[in-house]
Chains A and B, each alone.
Chain A
Amino acid sequence: MSYLPKPKLHHPKLPTNAIGLTRRDYEGAISTLCAGCGHDSISAAIIQACFNLSLPPHRVAKLSGIGCSSKTPTYFLGAAHGFNSVHGRMPSVLTGAYLANRDLIYLGVSGDGDSASIGFGQFAHSIRRGVNMTYIVENNGVYGLTKGQFSATSDKGSVAKKGNVNTDQPIDLAAIAVQLGATFVARSFSGDKEQLVPLIEAALLHEGSAFIDVLSPCVAFNNHPGSTKSYDYVREHNDALNRLDVMLPRQEITASYAPGALTEVVQHDGSILRLRKLHDGHDPTDRTSAMHYLMERKAAGEIVTGLIYVEPEATPLHQNLGTVPVALNSLGDADLCPGADALERINASLR
């Protein structure tokens, strides 16, 4: 953490976007996370993506739960709406906000503890319902705030800082999101902004439940040999060519790297982990194929990053429910409280 705020002075040639803002205008307060935390890189990627899309910061609502990851909305988009909710309850608060005001852009930020443990059910139902949001999990595989116990996404066989070996099966949030009907599912790495930024842009533009699982090394408790979520580990398996081209809304997303590129490294503990890009045989718009692909690669011990699945013509929750087409706060008293006669008619229709 740093005591001083980041100096306001910026590069004299800092570009502005379509609404006249610089990237610096999308920043928040200075991070109080540990130096080198992957989460800070994800914040920087969110800032870059929002700048690139020229989003008006005040039209964004950022919501989070509890944990290191859930602190991060303070560190980006200082001019956006924010709600730091109860542990694991971000999805339901976000769903409520979305139902009340469908005009805002919803960004949920959570961690592996917040979404895969205490809030696992909330995560599932918000995805299942098709809430129009971008749901980012900053996934470091440990409980950082309580000094590094294995989290539910920690790989079996991964070694803790003090030497314990994880014996539980990991939850693959991306695979579950695909299964639950998320209409946009991706995975990325905090140390690869060239891949991550376009994915966040695409997710923000996606109308429906967009889920991104971002591997984000915990420098304090999970960045040692034997960990399967360390910078070195991920990087050794990542040839740094895994970038995506800029993506436009509702366009099929294509990757610019050679299909099927694969790196394989044997770890200290003998485990083999591979980081690969989407296979050229993989169709990101085919849910069955995406599921099959994830299962297959997982069985082979690889990490799949990039866009896993997208449903280009998603129907979000408001459309499914047939709600009013405007935000509730724009309705007048007569619409919001139509009176006793209207209530009587509704009651009668239910008898």
Chain B
Amino acid sequence: MKPTDISSPDYFHKVVDCQWACPAHTPVPEYIRLIAAGRYSDAYMVNWHSNVFPGILGRTCDRPCEPACRRGRVEEEPVAICRLKRVAADNKGEVLSRMPEIPSERNGKRIACVGAGPASMTVARDLAPLGYEIHVFDGAAKPGGFIRQQIPRFRLPEEVIDEECGFALDRGGVVSHMNRRVDSLKALLAEGYDAVFVGSGAPRGRELDVPGRKEAAANIHLGIDWLASVSFGHVTSIGKRVIVLGGGNTAMDCCRSARRLGGEEVKVVVRSGFDEMKASPWEKEDAMHEGIPILNFLVPKEVLHDNGRLTGMVFEKVAAQYDEKGRRSLLPTGEPDVTIECDDVLVAIGQENAFPWIERDAGIEFDRWGLPKLDADTLQSTDPRVFFGGDAAFGPKNIIWAVAHGHQAAVSIDLLCKGEDVKARPAPDVRIASQKMGIHEWAYDNAVSLDLRYKVPQLPAEKALRDITAEVELGYDREMAYLETQRCLNCDVQTVFTAKACIECDACVDICPTDCITFTENGEEDELRTRLKAPAVNTYQDLYVQDGLKTGRVMVKDEDVCLHCGMCAERCPTGAWDMQKFLLETAKPKAHACHSR
């Protein structure tokens, strides 16, 4: 193998599994250390710079970071990264003064954002400090989009939404046009904006198409619309027996909301198997914890009604079959159909994009799935002035992806307004610094906690079910949060090896608790992986290879299960190993941009 090029930012970034997995690349270990130090406001700001909505995401994020967490590979469960983020938000002090100032002098460029969801708010937040004049349009009375309308209050209190939307929109430089739905892109473009960002989400719930649907329509509701009605207080009750169709997080929000509005027998019915459901495992757990059974492998066949009054639904039993390519199909088992009686049905089987307000001749091309044709890096559409992000870009994803898109689009818009090539993406800001303070003293806490993941305290179910606005999760207190922070392995503190200093004494090999390090003859990667001290079977994780040793061998470190405990560096007599903190911030629009009009 060729020696690893550690000067490429991607190499060490990938070692920080959580940050690499986060669409917005939040420097997770950095803020976890700040929480451990009790520096909640600092931790909040690290988050705020990367993901804009720490308090909201700390309660609702899909947490792609957690399945990626290295802790999950050396122990049973990942660090509770998401809930630690909430700790930073819950305990922060005054943070407004730490946010970048909005200059009173504008740069003369006007940007329109369609929709006031997370993607648009991110664009606004990134660009306002640079002097842009941002106009945000939304049909609702308050900003937040999906965050405010579809996430139930028992998961996300309204104050948190208000505060963080405020940080993005109300500090100046942004004009919010609420209660104003954009109904023509052409008209918007005609208003002379320098760029338009479309962050209008995926606002249409997928319909159920079975016999009886139309007749019983009065008691069949589309999940996302129903959730919005609940959120706005238009709906305050539901029947005693409720069927929720669908296996995603929206279905989980629907069934848990129904439980709180009078649903006594609420059942979730999914087509697929329980394990293949799209909902996050913890959301399924929360639903089941509230006495909601999840019935799987049942395909809706018919809606039963008595002269238009809904009485139940019939389902066909299916089983998963896999063809030789591993593709799944759900085939009927031939068993008798299942009938479930109910008073209401909530349909949460998916969301679709809808752009009725974009005229077909407005210059925006769409693909055959009805999604805009975009450049994946710049998010620029076929009209160079129009950018897309969030669910409007590539179909329904989640908040953290919307934020990531917002940052990407903000960079593009800034480049466009400066007359630069939007494809020439700025490099991330990377800092790497030795953590050595003394012979065995490090600037980070390198002890490895053996504690198992701490459970977040919850409101007792009987209390929680009585009030739809009572937040179920109480969040970690400071003490529990501290203990949970100690489970973080500090994967951003990198093991950096200098071959010319190495005397090949084997001290690092002997001390490494997870057998990551091997000194051996070089070879091709596939073969080399088999003859390390512990075979490197996780090929997603890189091998760190360095040559230039006196014996002609190479140092090979399998990054897979390194604890970043620094033992190799402590036991190294010559300083050939060093622990260096790698801090990467993705490129954001630079403050100096566009000031010279």
| A pairs with B | yes
**Interface of A with B (CB < 8 Å)?**
1-4, 6-14, 24, 30-31, 34-38, 40-41, 43-44, 190-191, 193, 217, 219, 223, 231-232, 235-236, 240
Expressed in whole angstroms, the minimum distance between the Cβ of B541 and any Cβ of chain A is: 12
The stretch that binds A, out of B129-137, B182-190, B219-227, B498-506, is: B498-506
In Å, the complex CA distance between A14 and B537 comes to 12
The answer to the question of B567 belonging to the interface, with a C-beta cut-off of 8 Å to chain A, is: yes
Interface pair A7/B510, CB less than 8 Å apart: no
Interface pair B563/A41, CB less than 8 Å apart: no
Q: Say yes or no: A7-B565 contact (C-beta < 8 A), given A14-B534, A38-B505, A232-B503.
A: yes
In Å, the complex CA distance between A31 and B516 comes to 19
Interface pair A7/B573, CB less than 8 Å apart: no
Expressed in whole angstroms, the minimum distance between the Cβ of B514 and any Cβ of chain A is: 5
The one of A4, A10, A34, A235 in contact with B504, judged by C-beta atoms closer than 8 angstroms, is A235
Expressed in whole angstroms, the minimum distance between the Cβ of B475 and any Cβ of chain A is: 27
In Å, the complex CA distance between A219 and B535 comes to 30
In Å, the complex CA distance between A11 and B516 comes to 8
Expressed in whole angstroms, the minimum distance between the Cβ of A237 and any Cβ of chain B is: 12
Q: Which residues of A contact B574 (CB under 8 A)?
A: 36
Interface pair B572/A9, CB less than 8 Å apart: no
Q: Which residues of B contact A219 (CB under 8 A)?
A: 503, 505, 573
Expressed in whole angstroms, the minimum distance between the Cβ of A165 and any Cβ of chain B is: 23
Not counting A219-B505, A236-B550, a sample of 9 additional A-B residue pairs whose C-beta atoms are within 8 angstroms of each other reads: A7-B565, A9-B74, A14-B515, A35-B571, A36-B503, A41-B505, A43-B510, A191-B504, A217-B505
Interface pair B573/A36, CB less than 8 Å apart: yes
**Could you tell me the dominant secondary structure of chain B's interface residues?**
loop
Nearest B residue to A41, CB-CB = B506
Could you give 16 example pairs across A and B, Cβ below 8 Å?
Answer: A1-B440, A2-B570, A6-B511, A8-B513, A9-B74, A9-B75, A9-B563, A10-B513, A12-B73, A36-B505, A36-B573, A36-B574, A37-B505, A191-B504, A191-B505, A219-B505
Q: Which chain B residues numbered 558 to 583 have a C-beta less than 8 Å away from chain A?
A: 561, 563, 565, 567, 570-574
The one of B73, B440, B448 in contact with A2, judged by C-beta atoms closer than 8 angstroms, is B440
Q: Which residues of B contact A190 (CB under 8 A)?
A: 506
The answer to the question of B553 belonging to the interface, with a C-beta cut-off of 8 Å to chain A, is: yes
Interface pair B553/A240, CB less than 8 Å apart: yes
Chain A to chain B: the 9 pairs with minimum beta-carbon distance, closest first = A36-B573, A7-B448, A44-B510, A35-B573, A36-B505, A11-B534, A2-B570, A7-B513, A219-B573
Nearest A residue to B575, CB-CB = A35
The answer to the question of B107 belonging to the interface, with a C-beta cut-off of 8 Å to chain A, is: no
Interface pair B535/A13, CB less than 8 Å apart: yes
Interface pair B503/A9, CB less than 8 Å apart: no
Q: Which residues of B contact A31 (CB under 8 A)?
A: 571
Q: Which chain B residues numbered 499 to 531 have a C-beta less than 8 Å away from chain A?
A: 503-507, 509-511, 513-516
The answer to the question of B446 belonging to the interface, with a C-beta cut-off of 8 Å to chain A, is: yes
In Å, the complex CA distance between A217 and B503 comes to 11
Interface pair B563/A35, CB less than 8 Å apart: no
Interface pair A191/B506, CB less than 8 Å apart: yes
In Å, the complex CA distance between A7 and B565 comes to 8
**Could you tell me the dominant secondary structure of chain A's interface residues?**
loop
Q: Which residues of B contact A12 (CB under 8 A)?
A: 73-74, 561
Interface pair A4/B511, CB less than 8 Å apart: no
Q: Which residues of A contact B567 (CB under 8 A)?
A: 2, 4, 6-7
Q: Say yes or no: A223-B440 contact (C-beta < 8 A), given A9-B514, A235-B550.
A: no
Q: Which residues of B contact A193 (CB under 8 A)?
A: 506
The answer to the question of B458 belonging to the interface, with a C-beta cut-off of 8 Å to chain A, is: no
Nearest B residue to A220, CB-CB = B573
The answer to the question of B376 belonging to the interface, with a C-beta cut-off of 8 Å to chain A, is: no
Q: Say yes or no: A231-B73 contact (C-beta < 8 A), given A34-B573, A35-B573.
A: no
Expressed in whole angstroms, the minimum distance between the Cβ of A12 and any Cβ of chain B is: 6
In Å, the complex CA distance between A219 and B573 comes to 7
In Å, the complex CA distance between A81 and B460 comes to 52
In Å, the complex CA distance between A217 and B446 comes to 29
The answer to the question of B433 belonging to the interface, with a C-beta cut-off of 8 Å to chain A, is: no
In Å, the complex CA distance between A3 and B567 comes to 10
The answer to the question of B447 belonging to the interface, with a C-beta cut-off of 8 Å to chain A, is: yes
Nearest B residue to A44, CB-CB = B510
Expressed in whole angstroms, the minimum distance between the Cβ of B513 and any Cβ of chain A is: 5
Q: Which residues of A contact B513 (CB under 8 A)?
A: 6-10, 24
Expressed in whole angstroms, the minimum distance between the Cβ of B293 and any Cβ of chain A is: 34
The answer to the question of B551 belonging to the interface, with a C-beta cut-off of 8 Å to chain A, is: yes
Expressed in whole angstroms, the minimum distance between the Cβ of B535 and any Cβ of chain A is: 7
Expressed in whole angstroms, the minimum distance between the Cβ of A226 and any Cβ of chain B is: 16
The one of A3, A9, A14, A41 in contact with B507, judged by C-beta atoms closer than 8 angstroms, is A41
Expressed in whole angstroms, the minimum distance between the Cβ of B191 and any Cβ of chain A is: 59
The answer to the question of B424 belonging to the interface, with a C-beta cut-off of 8 Å to chain A, is: no
Q: Which residues of A contact B553 (CB under 8 A)?
A: 240
Expressed in whole angstroms, the minimum distance between the Cβ of B564 and any Cβ of chain A is: 10
The one of B504, B505, B563 in contact with A7, judged by C-beta atoms closer than 8 angstroms, is B563
Interface pair A223/B563, CB less than 8 Å apart: no
Expressed in whole angstroms, the minimum distance between the Cβ of A256 and any Cβ of chain B is: 15
Q: Which residues of A contact B507 (CB under 8 A)?
A: 35-37, 40-41
Interface pair B572/A4, CB less than 8 Å apart: no
Q: Which residues of B contact A11 (CB under 8 A)?
A: 74, 514-516, 534, 561
Nearest A residue to B74, CB-CB = A9
In Å, the complex CA distance between A34 and B511 comes to 13
Q: Say yes or no: A4-B447 contact (C-beta < 8 A), given A40-B507, A217-B505.
A: yes
The answer to the question of B450 belonging to the interface, with a C-beta cut-off of 8 Å to chain A, is: yes
Q: Which residues of A contact B73 (CB under 8 A)?
A: 12
Expressed in whole angstroms, the minimum distance between the Cβ of A276 and any Cβ of chain B is: 17
Expressed in whole angstroms, the minimum distance between the Cβ of A3 and any Cβ of chain B is: 5
Expressed in whole angstroms, the minimum distance between the Cβ of B165 and any Cβ of chain A is: 41
A-contact 0/1 string along B75-100, CB 8 Å cutoff: 10000000000000000000000000
Interface pair A3/B74, CB less than 8 Å apart: no
Interface pair A10/B510, CB less than 8 Å apart: no
Interface pair A36/B510, CB less than 8 Å apart: no
The one of A2, A8, A30, A236 in contact with B450, judged by C-beta atoms closer than 8 angstroms, is A8
Interface pair A231/B505, CB less than 8 Å apart: yes
The one of B74, B515, B561, B571 in contact with A40, judged by C-beta atoms closer than 8 angstroms, is B571
Q: Which residues of B contact A13 (CB under 8 A)?
A: 534-535, 537
Q: Which residues of A contact B74 (CB under 8 A)?
A: 9-12
Interface pair A2/B503, CB less than 8 Å apart: no
Interface pair A240/B448, CB less than 8 Å apart: no
Q: Which residues of A contact B514 (CB under 8 A)?
A: 9-11
In Å, the complex CA distance between A202 and B539 comes to 37
In Å, the complex CA distance between A219 and B507 comes to 11
Expressed in whole angstroms, the minimum distance between the Cβ of B33 and any Cβ of chain A is: 17
Interface pair A40/B510, CB less than 8 Å apart: yes
Interface hub of B510, B514, B567, B573 (most chain A Cβ within 10 A): B510
In Å, the complex CA distance between A1 and B563 comes to 19
In Å, the complex CA distance between A258 and B82 comes to 59
Q: Which chain B residues numbered 236 to 257 have a C-beta less than 8 Å away from chain A?
A: none
Expressed in whole angstroms, the minimum distance between the Cβ of A73 and any Cβ of chain B is: 16
Expressed in whole angstroms, the minimum distance between the Cβ of A23 and any Cβ of chain B is: 9
A-contact 0/1 string along B347-369, CB 8 Å cutoff: 00000000000000000000000
Q: Which residues of B contact A37 (CB under 8 A)?
A: 505, 507
Nearest A residue to B569, CB-CB = A35
In Å, the complex CA distance between A43 and B506 comes to 12
In Å, the complex CA distance between A30 and B511 comes to 9
Q: Which residues of B contact A236 (CB under 8 A)?
A: 550
Nearest A residue to B71, CB-CB = A9
Interface hub of B74, B513, B551 (most chain A Cβ within 10 A): B513
A-contact 0/1 string along B22-35, CB 8 Å cutoff: 00000000000000
Q: Which chain B residues numbered 410 to 462 have a C-beta less than 8 Å away from chain A?
A: 440, 446-448, 450
Expressed in whole angstroms, the minimum distance between the Cβ of B576 and any Cβ of chain A is: 10
In Å, the complex CA distance between A44 and B567 comes to 15
